[in-house]
């Protein structure tokens, strides 16, 4: 069986360490294990939350630069912008027609974002998961590497694929498998170890941006919340110390180690001693990526050319699928 992965990031706000470690870095680690790889910048999804969509153009190019700078080669992989492939939204419409509102109402991301004020919530936010299903199924992707928070959406994608298959009485779409790497799934806020690192947190000190300079990275780590206890010798003793666990996990990720080994190394030490080491490891990993991003962003014409190449390849696959979909639906 040919394997094909697809994943995407919404171009909203600054791209940060959570996006990098939770998504891009784990994609990079699986590049040579799959036959075909598509990485989308899902700009149409960004429009579902208007406050996030202000700098859409700039943010879209920044994510493209982050993909490439992190090691996703735009020649060997398809890197493209969602809106450059119109078949996504067309397929999403057909999915809207076979997806019960009850399924969409149960999505936790929708419930979180819509809050209590459902009447004022935009329709686009509600039907977002049908568009995400289309992003995946238009390429008949077999695997979808995502963070833990997107698992429910990939499961819904399977349900939508099955509903479509039933409707057309044909095994038209394969059911895609989510790939969730537990060790990288959740990077927490530097201010509150119980909250995910997020672009929507009002405090810049809660996250490290991929474009932060070295001094800023160091400062944010120095100011990161911790407790006054020394570093314990056992992973279990971190359960009640989410901020401590988050920082030690980051160190493990940047040094290709494990939490258990890191704890052994620093057992009994204070965080004041550990933090400069973490800053050093973070900077040595992120600085080359940041510098490559800055270079890529300085040559916009080149970046747009990479995205065009990606969109051309994506359109070739997507057009074929949409043609077959129309004919399965008995359209003239
Ligand atoms: N919903 C995803 C998120 O908020 C982004 C996304 C959109 C996506 N389409 C996708 C992820 C397709 C994987 C595959 O992070």
Q: Hey, what domains does the chain have and what are their CATH numbers?
A: 4-179+299-328 (3.40.50.620), 204-295 (1.10.240.10)
In the chain, pLDDT over 70 holds for what percent of residues?
99
CA distances from 263 to 142, 245, 248, 268 (A): 37, 10, 7, 9
Buried b (16+ CB within 10 A) or exposed e, 4-31: bbbbbbbbbbbbbbbbbbbbbbbbbeee
Q: For residues 137 and 127, give the distance between their C-alpha atoms in angstroms, rounded to a whole number.
A: 16
Active-site pick, 54, 76, 111, 113: 113
Q: How far is CA 89 from CA 128, 129, 180, 184, in A?
A: 10, 12, 26, 31
pLDDT tops 90 at residue 13 = no
Ligand 1 neighbour 92 (Cβ under 6 A)? no
Lowest mean pLDDT among 33-37, 45-49, 130-134, 276-280: 45-49
Asked whether the predicted pLDDT for residue 256 surpasses 60, the reply is yes
Amino acid 49: pLDDT: 86
pTM: 0.95
**199 labelled catalytic:** yes
Whether residue 93 is predicted with pLDDT greater than 60 in this model: the reply is yes
How far does residue 319's CA lie from ligand 1's centre (Å)? 21
Q: Is 52's pLDDT higher than 90?
A: no
Q: What atom of ligand 1 comes closest to residue 141's alpha carbon?
A: 14
- Res. 40 pLDDT band, cuts 50 70 90: very high
The pLDDT of residue 232 is above 70: yes
117 confidence band (pLDDT: 50, 70, 90): confident
Give the mean pLDDT of the chain: 94
Backbone φ and ψ of 188, nearest 5°: -95, 160
Hey, whose CA ends up nearest to atom 6 of ligand 1? 8
Per-residue pLDDT, 171? 96
Residue 181 confidence class, pLDDT cut points 50, 70, 90: confident
Ligand 1 centroid to Cα of residue 232, in Å, is 37
Residues 6 or more apart whose CB falls under 8 angstroms from that of 173 comprise 137, 140, 161, 164, 165
Locate the ligand 1 atom nearest the alpha carbon of residue 147 and give its number: 15
């Amino acid at each position: 069986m040919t394997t094909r992965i697809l994943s995407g990031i919404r171009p909203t706000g600054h791209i940060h360490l959570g996006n990098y470690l939770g998504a891009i870095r784990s994609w990079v680690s699986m590049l040579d294990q799959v036959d075909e790889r598509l990485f989308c910048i899902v700009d149409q999804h960004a429009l579902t939350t208007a406050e996030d969509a202000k700098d859409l153009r700039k943010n879209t190019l920044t994510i493209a630069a982050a993909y490439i700078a992190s090691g996703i080669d735009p020649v060997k992989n398809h890197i493209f912008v969602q809106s450059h492939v119109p078949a996504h939204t067309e397929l999403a419409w057909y999915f809207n027609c076979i997806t019960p509102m009850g399924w969409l109402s149960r999505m936790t991301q929708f419930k979180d974002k819509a809050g209590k004020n459902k009447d004022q919530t935009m329709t686009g936010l509600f039907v977002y998961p049908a568009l995400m299903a289309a992003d995946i199924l238009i390429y008949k992707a077999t695997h979808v590497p995502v963070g833990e928070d997107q698992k429910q959406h990939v499961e819904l994608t399977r349900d939508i694929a099955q509903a479509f298959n039933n409707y057309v009485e044909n095994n038209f779409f394969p059911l895609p498998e989510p790939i969730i790497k537990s060790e990288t799934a959740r990077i927490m806020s530097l201010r509150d170890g119980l909250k995910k690192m997020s672009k929507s947190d009002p405090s810049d000190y809660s996250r490290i941006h991929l474009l932060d300079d070295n001094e800023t990275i160091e400062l944010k780590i120095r100011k990161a919340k911790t407790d006054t206890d020394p570093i314990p010798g056992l992973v279990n003793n971190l359960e009640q110390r989410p901020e401590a666990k988050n920082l030690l996990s980051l160190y493990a990720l940047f040094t290709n180690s494990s939490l258990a080994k890191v704890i052994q190394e620093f057992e009994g030490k204070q965080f004041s001693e550990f933090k400069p080491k973490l800053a050093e490891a973070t900077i040595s990993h992120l600085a080359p990526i940041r510098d490559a991003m800055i270079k890529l962003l300085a040559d916009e014409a080149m970046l747009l050319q990479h995205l065009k190449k990606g969109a051309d390849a994506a359109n070739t696959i997507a057009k074929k699928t949409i043609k077959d979909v129309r004919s399965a639906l008995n359209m003239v």
